[in-house]
Structure 1
């Protein structure tokens, strides 16, 4: 995964270190300063030219605020009373979303509080709250773009009901580990089940093989987030604490499905309020292909959300699509015959594959990528 030294947009300032570096040159003119606490940088703000700068959610003293506005800067002050920062410049970490889990339980975490706020404001149709959600989601998209510059991203899709302790969960974890070791950035929907398993596998890629076996055994004691999200999440943090410094991956969950908590194995979490924006963003960023594990309605939707731009080539060349479990996708939910019919005679025909087992998926993905789209 690429980690640029500076933000993708060279006029963005997203950390206090970047602010100090630019401010030392005497001018912030034209810069966008995003969610940086400037309450201890009053002298720098008073000394710098801030013409045409934009300050998004930056804390600053009143005299600094007055001065930068006088220079012609736009100031969007922090919004009080929110359980999230709509102007944030970085993706979430598991530790951030689950703050307070061990002491007070999941319901007191920032993740749960953001969902509660979403539910209450969605119910009353407050346009101000809707605007804040949109700003937040756009900031998340910007942070994802910055993180994934140059990365070869493979999406892993699958159902949330896949329980820890099952062969299917272990297989999805092996898939994530293999993809990560092959140099791909694993991206999932960021939730439980198959999504968590793939993120776990990517986390385990940095450790010896036996670590994953031991982690799977430990996690099996809390097989599902039902009935207790707290027990489920605490088991994941026990794994992370026992085997720190795991491999990186991305999770892109949503508060729209707030009953599904995010998993703790994705190192970078791009959590959205708008599910449609989240799903399109996840699939469009899976530039090296997508593996679809068995799932239900949500996974079926993702298959065709991904197939449509491949069919029309609206994002360029079709990207590989690998469906795992022949019986599931031809008998239980016969998605494969329709996908195959859509692809026939088009460029995407050589970019789709159906395999029997999850262990076949990495080879199938590599084969589809190597042969390219049909002429």
Structure 2
């Protein structure tokens, strides 16, 4: 199975970064915090340790602490970036989001009161007002998310699955995309999607279903089909997903990389690790750049077309090294409805990427095509 971990299980691998109380206590026990980066750890109950430990040159990012220890830490020459009150998100967070974190309070208060919805509301209020402080907070948050994503995906073979958000639960296309996600996960690949509804959710669901018997996925798709779309009710849509997770716990891991730029599309709850960004350009580039085992493009509209050619550019110029496989699914869709395939073929002609692209008719053929293009 994939090495991807859930956000709460993920351990930092850099050595200098401290992202939990357990890591903090281990560093104190070693005798020094000098030069370390402590990220979003509540140190209110660690005053004695801070007073007794060398913190020279350390950096504390959003770590609550009592005033006495804080004065001592500053006197040591450490940099202290205090928590920002009143925000619906932590700009210094050290871990990716989990579905439970983004949907906290859903069952009790509805979607509008969840951290995900509150962060989107804040973004809507601040995105165009020119406030440099809000811009800085968004940048800090997105940089922290990128750092956490690198840690989660360290050593993983990642395959991106792109597709339209409008693919309805209960449809044949949704079930097929879910089976694709399951096949990829069972092959030892880490499934990564844009994290939204539709085909993206289906692929994450498939990866979640990978450790379970085959019949589980069919039953889960039937359950979800009772709430086919996130409109008109995000709450009902999300609750249906959590009902599946509750009935079949201990699902397989995958990654979702959504954005509050498209905040009207809620994140799906089937990815173990959710890297949600404010800046869509960072999210798009990060998703495709990390798909080191290739990308599968299911039928979609403008967003999926953009992702095809965002992936094409580094393959064409080999700016990230050897071209990665690109598999387009749906002959009529990509040659007649939205004829991206002929242009992709023309661009690839005579270049290394020519042997790394394929057009297949069905989702069932996509995993085999990916393996063939990879030389597996």
**Normalization by structure 1: what TM-score?**
0.98
Q: 1:181 and 2:162 equivalent?
A: no
Q: Pick from 202, 227, 239: which aligns with 1:222?
A: 227
Residue matched to 1:190: 195
1:252 corresponds to which residue?
A: 257
Q: Distance in 2 between matches of 1:339 and 1:258?
A: 30
In the TM superposition, 1:13-92 aligns within 5 A as: 13-92=18-97
Report the Cα offset of residue 123 of structure 1: 3.1
Q: Which residue of 2 aligns with 1:263?
A: 268
**Contact kept? 1:58, 1:78, Cα under 8 Å:** yes
Three-state SS of the structure 2 residue aligned to 1:24 is helix
Which residue of structure 1 lines up, in the alignment, with residue 108 of structure 2?
A: 103
* Deviation at residue 5 of structure 1 after TM alignment: 7.2
Partner of 1:276: 281
C-alpha displacement of 1:10? 1.3
Query: What's the TM-score, normalizing by structure 2?
Result: 0.98
Please state how far the C-alpha of 1:122 moved relative to its aligned partner: 1.1
- Among 154, 168, 176, the alignment partner of 2:159 is 154
2:372 aligned residue: 367
Shift of 1:6: 4.1
What SS does the aligned partner of 2:56 have?
coil
Alpha-carbon offset, residue 258 of structure 1: 0.7
Structure 2: distance between partners of 1:130 and 1:293: 34
Deviation at 1:223, TM superposition (A): 0.2
Q: Which residue of 1 aligns with 2:353?
A: 348
Residue equivalent to 1:238: 243
1:10 aligns with 2:2: no
Structure 2: distance between partners of 1:286 and 1:8 = 20
The DSSP-based 3-state class of the residue aligned with 1:137 is helix
Instruction: Supply the distance in 2 between the matched residues of 1:98 and 1:267 (Cα, whole angstroms).
Output: 13
- Mapped contact 2:10–2:95 kept (Cα < 8 A): no
Q: Is residue 10–residue 152 contact of structure 2 (8 Å, CA) maintained in 1?
A: no
CA RMSD of aligned residues (A): 1.0
CA distance in 2, matches of 1:138, 1:230: 29
Q: Secondary structure at the match of 1:49?
A: coil
Of residues 126, 131, 138, the one that matches 2:131 is: 126
Task: Report the counterpart of residue 335 of structure 1 in structure 2.
Answer: 340
Decide whether the 8 Å contact of 1:26 with 1:47 is kept in 2: no
Query: Cα distance, 1:362 vs. partner?
Result: 0.5
Aligned counterparts of 2:18 and 2:201: Cα–Cα separation in 1: 32
Task: Provide Cα deviations, 1:161-180, integer angstroms capped at 9, x if missing partner.
Answer: 00001000000000000000
Gaps of 5+ in 1: none
**SS of residue paired to 1:318:** coil
Secondary structure of the structure 2 residue equivalent to 1:123: coil
Distance 1:60 1:140 in 2: 23
Partner of 2:175: 170
Q: Is the 8 A contact 2:89 2:115 kept in 1?
A: yes
Instruction: Tell me the CA shift for residue 8 of structure 1.
Output: 2.5
**1:295 aligned to 296, 300, 305, which one?**
300
**Alignment partner of 1:291: what SS?**
strand
Secondary structure at the counterpart of residue 369 of structure 2: helix
Structure 2 segments unaligned to the other structure (5+ residues): none
| Correspondence for 1:211 | 216
Deviation at 1:297, TM superposition (A): 0.2
